[in-house]
Amino acid sequence: MESPATYQRKLGLFELVSLGVGGTIGSGIFVVPGIAARIAGPASLLAWIIVAFSASSVLLSLAYVSTHFTKTGGFFSSFESVFGMRIAVPLMVLYLISSVFGVATIASGIGQYMTYFSISHIIVLEVAIITCFCLINSIGISLSGMTENILTLIKIVPLVLIAIVLLPFVKSANLVPIMPASAGSLLAAIIIVYWPFTGFEISAIPVKETRDTRLISTSLLLVMAIVVALYIVLNISLMGSVGSGALAQSPAPIATASNLIFANSGNFVAIIGIVAMLSALNAYIIGTSRVLQNIAARCFVPLFRDLSPRGTPVVALVAGCTLSGCLLFFSNRFDQLASVSVITTLIPYIFFCITAWVLDPSWNHRLVSAAGIISTAAILVIYFIV
């Protein structure tokens, strides 16, 4: 028997873009530039460009698919339509796993930035933050959507300003490797760099909560345009201003680079980093709960498929947040959690592209789909080789 409660259509274009940008621009951009610089030095900039191409191909495929499936759980509907339930369910479970690990990864990134302020008991604080956002989301999509709008604006404006203001400090010598990076180091950097690009698909998840489903494909395109432009310019600014060595040694690379602009500005930037990760955490929690509820509804799992009178999947929310919090006690290492999240995300990404290939026979769309399939599959294979 279906739950009498239904999702509430409260989300417009601004909210969808905020969810996508919020889910994408989070812990990754505030932590990964340092990790990538440690792995591949200045050559890590090439990793950002390669991943931007791959992720953009996946997004364009998803944008096309989203125009064909406007029911709740568009992912599930598209997979089921093309591949059937036997493949659709495992794909959705994989995506759910990636989302659960994604929440834990972002919480771990928040903890890493908390160490910038010498704060102790990090894991307890990370779990408390997850719990807080679980409560916010349980109240309803209006509050969680408004929270996302505010947090996204707070983080985007300073990031854009930092990227622009650091450009005069860029030294060409910092962008040229002293020694060419090995293929292995570049491939390893590509894997970890993919993490900051994941999350854009969150814009396409709350279909049933969107006022006009035609806005979904538009929001996806806007999200990727914003993300790619900001990431490329910001990484050039970071690498060029302080060099790969300084970035590699810093747990908060943007804060370190910002000290070039104003003395002791690192504390302010670290706070912005935490706000950005809170935004990403909120977006991921929204996405995770909706995916879990959708799987439960299609597989007739009681309780998990039910919605509250406010149109919120409370049981799915609590379950997803609990799993993510428990993961932190097994591993609180950002790179380990991010790697698992990326790998379990890449497989559904490949199938987004395959779905677009099947649905659209036009050569230009199939060219984009093929680029997404090949590049994403290659990165997946590289992970297990490297």
pLDDT, tens digit, 9 for 90 and up, residues 221-259: 898 899 999 999 999 998 888 888 888 887 778 877 887
Q: Is residue 5 part of a domain?
A: no
Contacts of 257 (CB under 8 A, 6+ apart): 162, 166, 237, 238, 241, 242, 246, 247
What is the CA angle 53-58-59, rounded to 5? Answer: 95
Those residues of the chain that have pLDDT short of 50 are 1-3, 72
Q: Is residue 15 part of a domain?
A: no
What is the DSSP secondary structure assignment for residue 207, as one 8-state letter? G
**What burial class does residue 8 get, using C-beta atoms within 10 Å of its C-beta: 0-12 exposed, 13-18 middle, 19+ buried?**
middle
Which residues constitute the domain of residue 381?
25-385
The pLDDT of residue 1: 42
The Cα 125–Cα 78 span in angstroms is 38
Q: Is residue 113 part of a domain?
A: yes
The pLDDT of residue 69: 63
Q: Is residue 379 part of a domain?
A: yes
The Cα 199–Cα 19 span in angstroms is 9
The pLDDT of residue 74: 62
The Cα 28–Cα 36 span in angstroms is 11
Please state the domain count of the chain.
Answer: 1
User: What are the structure tokens assigned to 188, written together?
Assistant: 């390893």
The Cα 263–Cα 159 span in angstroms is 18
Q: Tell me, what CATH number does 288's domain have?
A: 1.20.1740.10
What predicted TM-score, i.e. pTM, was given to this entire model? Answer: 0.85
Q: Is residue 297 part of a domain?
A: yes
The pLDDT of residue 72: 45
H helices present in 25-121, as ranges = 27-40, 44-66, 74-83, 85-114
